[in-house]
Amino acid sequence: MTSLFHSYQLGDLTLPNRMVMAPMSRVRAAAGGLATSSMAAYYAQRATAGLIVSEGVQPSLVGQSNPGTPGLHTDEQVAAWRPVTSAVHANGGRIFAQIMHGGRVSHPDTTGMQPVGPSAVPAVGDVFTPTGPQPAPLPRELETAEVGEHALAYASAARRAIDAGFDGVELHGANGYLISQFLSSNANLRTDSYGGSVANRIRFAIEAVSATVQAVGGARTGIRLSPGGGFWGVEETDALELNKALLAELARLDLAYVHLEATAGEEVLLDLRRAWPGTLIMNPVFPMGPKQTGRAEADHWLELGADLIGFGRAFIANPDLVERLRSRLPIAPVDETTYYQGGDDGYLTYLAYQYTA
């Protein structure tokens, strides 16, 4: 049986185990979307993960979703990321940058710009702003001629990520952000070649991934998806058909991986596993739900055919999560109040397991 602690060959990278630190926003970036020394320490502390996927990184200013998040669209941002990737590599780790365009999940108070989306349909719920949560604003519907520019933004950010020392990139196609909005049957009401049919609604995702592969190579490119997920009000009424069609097109591109969230029933996810011929990262529990991924959930999905297992919140409070699971040590609880508060408390203050004599 495949073990969580067996190595895995991911393109040119040899992962020492099959544990992936999933992307998690921590909003600790400095002004201008710059990575910090605290971020370098945070990721370096968790470098024993087989692979780290960074927090969402905006590919453009209009693509920024939340205040306090880092970017990869200026030379200064690239320079700020280099100490982060160097620290991870110095500790023996591997790190991909998650490229996240927020689309309609943004606010003018955060970016100074009206958010954009596939259609003029606002997200459901309040979005984060520098002055606190505010209702999601009405986005501006992208003109057909503009859509390709936003697809290319992922590729541009990917080039910058490699320049900054990342080992690869993951396009955020999940959780109700821009790629997910184009996939959606209610956020995307377009009548041009990017809307309506399944073939049209997957077009933006394919263009963004294809451009990124052309920029940095398929072995350095992954994508994260949340089949049927209802984040920020998006719906996929035909989730299985939609995602199988998307995976069929992605399979032509020789990607590093597809990263699935457990946002659909297990039978749907198994259908998607069978439809995807390449490496699959599986996040076994619903994001931000009451349950965290543990060893039992990981082993279950390895048995079902996943190649790598994503762990989210458990990595926040347990920088040595790999060793804790390997040795069946207690898993420390996470303080949810510190997720987005900024500063080092709840960020660098979690310690490795303390053995007693």
Active site residues: 177
Q: Are 310 and 287 in contact (CB under 8 A)?
A: no
CA–CA distance, 159 with 336 (Å, rounded to integer): 34
Nearest to 2 by CA among 306, 284, 258: 306
Burial 169-205 (b: 16+ CB within 10 A, else e): bbbbbbbbbbbbbbbbbebbebeeebbeebebbbbbb
Query: Which helix (H) or strand (E) covers residue 44, if one does?
Result: helix 37-45
Q: Give the burial class of 60: count Cβ atoms within 10 A of its Cβ; 0-12 exposed, 13-18 middle, 19 or more buried.
A: buried
Q: Are 101 and 154 in contact (CB under 8 A)?
A: yes
- Lookup: tokens for 123: 């997200």
CA–CA distance, 312 with 293 (Å, rounded to integer): 8
- Longest alpha-carbon distance in the chain: 68
* 312 Cβ contact list (under 8 Å, min separation 6): 21, 22, 24, 283, 287, 292, 293
Q: Where are the beta strands (DSSP E) in 204-285?
A: 221-225, 257-261, 280-283
3-class state of residue 54 by DSSP: strand
Q: Are 238 and 273 in contact (CB under 8 A)?
A: no
CA–CA distance, 94 with 103 (Å, rounded to integer): 28
Neighbour tally for 286: CB within 10 Å: 14
CA–CA distance, 89 with 52 (Å, rounded to integer): 11
